Every structure is written in structure tokens, then in C-alpha cells.
Amino acid sequence: MAPNLEKRVFGIDIDGFYKWAMGDLVDNRNRGIFAEWLVGQALGAIGDGEVRHEWDAYDLLYEEKVKVEVKASGLSQTWNLYEPSKPNFNIAPRWRHWVAETDDWIVHDRPVRFADVYVFCLHEPVPATNENVFSPTFWKFWVISTQKLDEELGDQKTVGRATLDRLVESIQWSKIKSKVDRLELA
């Protein structure tokens, strides 16, 4: 439940809204938001009462300096739970970024990837269920610096599992923080 909200406001069940809006974690949007939260928990990058900003320039700020972009996908989709899909992650450089904290737009003279680090999250079970989405053991993670993405993939707009496996070894959820800590960031 969101911080400082009573369970009922004007007779409306706020918990009911959260269940209605976010109750299906297999849904791509919700699973992606959950993956951001999961990575934030691994990094200790989400403070008490902190609220996610949908269109921020990056997803998480680690140790008040490292900008982290989280990308999520799953083998099982709500529209086809039993036939595995081919996961791809959007890594397209962008011409501009919005910074929620300052409400500023940063315009670049060429498209860039704004974060320092990308964490790719793949939910593997087929079929996906809320229960296995909740468990970090059913996810695979790749952590890579943006500098390495830029060097290896240039302006490429998407990346798949095979390319990620070629660039960096996948890790478990419990290793995300130590992997980010070991990255040499420009």
C-alpha cells in the first residue's frame, strides 16, 4: 500500500485499487515495475516512502550517484502463458530525458543511454504465475555498464538473451549489488 494513505478514502477501498491495478504480476507492465522494485531491493536503492516516477530518466539511483536502468521481460506472456516467447529488451538511445526530481528535460546533441548501469531481468517460468514472479529464484539477471553496451552495441535499439550471454554472465538476484559495485563506471 502507498505510504500515508488510509484504507478507505471517501468510502473507496484503496487496497482494492492496488489489487485491481497491480494484481496480475504476469502482465508485462506490472512485471516490469515489479522487476524495478526487485532490483531496487537488491541494491537497497529504494527508501521508505519513496514513490516510483513513471517517466524518469532512469529507474533507480544507487548510492546517490549511480543511475540504474532496469529492463524486464518474461518467457510467458498473459496472452500466451504456455508457449515461450522470445525476449527482447529495449535499449534504444534517446534524444532527451526527463528528470522527475527537478522536472527538467535534458536534450542531447545525439541520442544517448542516460543511465550508468543496465540491469536486465528475465522471468523464466512457463507458465508464469504471480507466485513465481514474486520469487527472485525464478529470474535471471544480467548487469552491464552503459559504457560496455555503447562500445559493443552502438546505437542498437534492442538486445536479446543470446547477446547478453555473450557480453556478460547472468547472475542470481542476490549477486546484483556486488556486481554493480564491481563495475568500472566512466
pTM of the model: 0.91
pLDDT tens column, 44-85: 999 888 889 888 899 999 999 999 999 999 999 999 999 999
- pLDDT over 90 for what percent of the chain? 79
pLDDT tens column, 1-41: 454 555 666 778 888 888 999 999 999 999 999 999 999 99
- Number of folded domains in the chain? 1
Q: Is residue 50 part of a domain?
A: no
Range of the domain at 97: 55-182
Q: Is residue 161 part of a domain?
A: yes
Q: Is residue 89 part of a domain?
A: yes
CB 136 within 8 A of CB 164: no
Q: Is residue 42 part of a domain?
A: no
pLDDT tens column, 89-138: 999 999 999 988 899 999 999 999 999 999 999 999 999 999 999 999 99
**pLDDT > 90? residue 86:** yes
Q: Is residue 20 part of a domain?
A: no
Q: Is residue 167 part of a domain?
A: yes
Q: Measuring CA to CA, which residue among 82, 111, 81 is closest to residue 96?
A: 111
Which DSSP string do the residues of the chain spell out, in sequence order?
A: --TT--SEETTEEHHHHHHHHH--TTSHHHHHHHHHHHHHHHHT---TT----TT-SSSEEETTTEEEEEEEEESSBTTBTTS----EEE---EEEEEETTTTEEEEEEEEE---SEEEEEEE--SS--HHHHH-GGGEEEEEEEHHHHHHHHTT--EEEHHHHHHHS--B-GGGHHHHHHH----
Q: Is residue 126 part of a domain?
A: yes
Buried b (16+ CB within 10 A) or exposed e, 147-159: ebbbeebeeeeeb
